[in-house]
Amino acid sequence: MTPQDQLQQKTTSSARVAATVNSGDVLDYGMSINQPDLFDQALADRAAQLKDVYIRGILTVSPRQVVLVDPEQNHFSYDNWHFGTWDRRQFDENLVSYIPFNFGESPQIYRDYLEIDLLVIKTTPMDRHGFFNFGASNAMVKVACEIAKRVVVETSSSLPYCYGIENAVHISEVDGVIEGNNAPPVELPSAAITDIDRQVADYILREVDDGACLQIGIGGMPNAVCGALADSPIRDLGVHTEMFVDGMVDLAERGKLSGVKKSSYRGKIAYSFALGSGRCYDFIDQNEQCISLPVNETNLPENIARNANVVSINNAMQIDLSGQVCSESAGHAQRTGTGGQLQFVRGAVMSPGGKSFMCLSSQFVRGDLAKSRIVAGVDPGTVVTTPRTDVMYVVSEYGITNLKGKSVAQRAQALIALAHPDERDQLHQQARKSGLLNRKYW
């Protein structure tokens, strides 16, 4: 039977697929802009007929009707591997729970510990060879297809078609095909760059050499680093990253990303998923320079370290004076997730000549409230994302320090110097009182 024959046989409606879901089933929605919309609505419409249907997703970027239709969670429960804006709002309403993990371990976690009764993901329409491309969200999706009892794709011609490894599923492996609504994928606008971001970027830029291999996170500071690199004389940069973001388009279009110094995927922009503006999606669409990889290939430290001179740049929400980095929660309130931060910190340090940077503004400011992000001790309930033993460079708008080889007292002294001037005296007093500073530093 040809792929076209199989497609005709397997094409169905979202309502028909939703009708096959039974109480107690475990469903998976995949990731980000590849989560299904028509099926989600059709399943929500069946809420009264179902009980205890469990659904997993990651980095949800648009409302999930199965959550909104059932606030008491009598029919559906929804857990998430990494929070975006929508997930944070639902967490604050006690509607979503976070699943802790290191992102690069997710394919193994799926294989060894999880079951899926039904996987429904959004893909590109079938190509002439019978494949449905995962587009901008590779991650662990292929493994999810392998372990799921049933796989259904909801197609969208608006998704980018991305070349890569394990970034497609064949019609022979699919149980149903829903023709989607082809709505444009959700865009994540680039964060505005502040003067603080530019100052942090300037400190980092001094540590980046020709031929460095970049991992850059998302936010104003990483955007500022990309902008500074684009305007600099630094050349022959490579990319081996978890997430492809808009700032990397700037670097590519300025001719900075030759990738000729890379050892793995030489000359290629290697990433596992992309989230950004339409410009970002347009860039990766059928782009031979880009290669989409499963997240274990991008994120496991030993794979990161195959490249020399890795530069890993990530944001922190809070750091204590011993060097513990908190990047995912405010107290018990989950805000994002561990993601790949710890793995890229370790991979960069393992890389010959590699460097890892933790970036933060000295203060969190909202309205008239200003609170130091550099603290004597981590706030109660706040999750430590990267242990102090792993942290290398820390950067604020007031400077940069390398914590490797420093004692706790030396770390405290160095980090107090990165704090806002209004906070330094109090931090010094707290450090003395808690024993973080010995008498030499009083």
Q: Which of 225, 303, 214, 235 is nearest to 264 (CA)?
A: 303
Indicate if 162 and 274 belong to the same structural domain. no
CATH code for the domain of 315: 3.40.1080.20
The 10s digit of each residue's pLDDT in 347-398 is: 999 999 999 999 999 999 988 889 999 999 999 999 999 999 999 999 999 9
Indicate if 215 and 275 belong to the same structural domain. yes
How many C-beta atoms surround the C-beta of residue 347 within 10 A? Answer: 27
Indicate if 81 and 129 belong to the same structural domain. yes
Q: How many domains does the chain have?
A: 2
* Amino acid letter, 6: Q
Tell me whether residue 187 is in a domain.
Answer: no
* 206: containing domain: 195-441
What three-state secondary structure class fits 232? coil
The 10s digit of each residue's pLDDT in 221-246 is: 888 999 999 999 999 999 999 999 99
Find all residues with CB under 8 Å of 81, minimum gap 6, and list them.
56, 57, 58, 59, 98, 99, 101, 103, 106, 337
The token duo for 48 is 């009264």
Tell me whether residue 237 is in a domain.
Answer: yes
Indicate if 270 and 346 belong to the same structural domain. yes
CATH code for the domain of 133: 3.40.1080.10
Q: Which of 56, 1, 100, 163 is nearest to 336 (CA)?
A: 100
Residue 440 has what DSSP assignment? G
Indicate if 239 and 162 belong to the same structural domain. no
Domain boundary among 136, 155, 179: 179
Indicate if 139 and 232 belong to the same structural domain. no
Catalytic residue among 154, 166, 242, 297: 242
Tell me whether residue 185 is in a domain.
Answer: no
Indicate if 268 and 329 belong to the same structural domain. yes
* Amino acid letter, 78: Y
Residue 116 has what DSSP assignment? B
What's the pTM value of the predicted model, to 2 decimals? Answer: 0.96
Strand ranges (DSSP E) for 107-212? 118-123, 131-133, 151-155, 168-170, 176-179
Give per-residue burial for 113-140: e unless 16+ CB within 10 Å, then b.
ebebbbbbbbbbbbeeebbbbbbbbbbb
* DSSP sequence for 286-308: T-TTEEE-BHHHHHSHHHHTTSS
Asked if 288 is an active-site residue, the reply is no
Average pLDDT across the chain, whole number: 96
Indicate if 372 and 292 belong to the same structural domain. yes
Q: Which of 46, 50, 93 is nearest to 74 (CA)?
A: 50
Q: Which of 132, 136, 149, 146 is nearest to 59 (CA)?
A: 136
Indicate if 162 and 215 belong to the same structural domain. no
Residues 34 and 160: their CA atoms lie apart, in Å, by 11
Measured in whole angstroms, the distance separating CA 5 from the mean position of its chain's CA atoms is: 38
Tell me whether residue 190 is in a domain.
Answer: no
Residue with the two structure tokens 């510990």: 113
Return per-residue pLDDT of the chain as tens, 442 residues. 899 999 999 999 999 999 999 999 999 999 999 999 999 999 999 999 999 999 999 999 999 999 999 999 999 999 999 999 999 999 999 999 999 999 999 999 999 999 999 999 999 999 999 999 999 999 999 999 999 999 999 999 999 999 999 999 999 999 999 999 999 999 988 888 899 999 999 999 999 999 999 999 887 888 899 999 999 999 999 999 999 999 999 999 999 999 999 999 999 999 999 999 999 999 999 999 999 999 999 999 999 999 999 999 999 999 999 999 999 999 999 999 999 999 999 999 999 999 999 999 999 998 888 999 999 999 999 999 999 999 999 999 999 999 999 999 999 999 999 999 999 999 999 999 999 998 887 7
β-bridge pairing 310-315 and 369-372: unpaired
Indicate if 286 and 371 belong to the same structural domain. yes
Domain boundary among 179, 210, 232: 179
Domain boundary among 155, 179, 203: 179
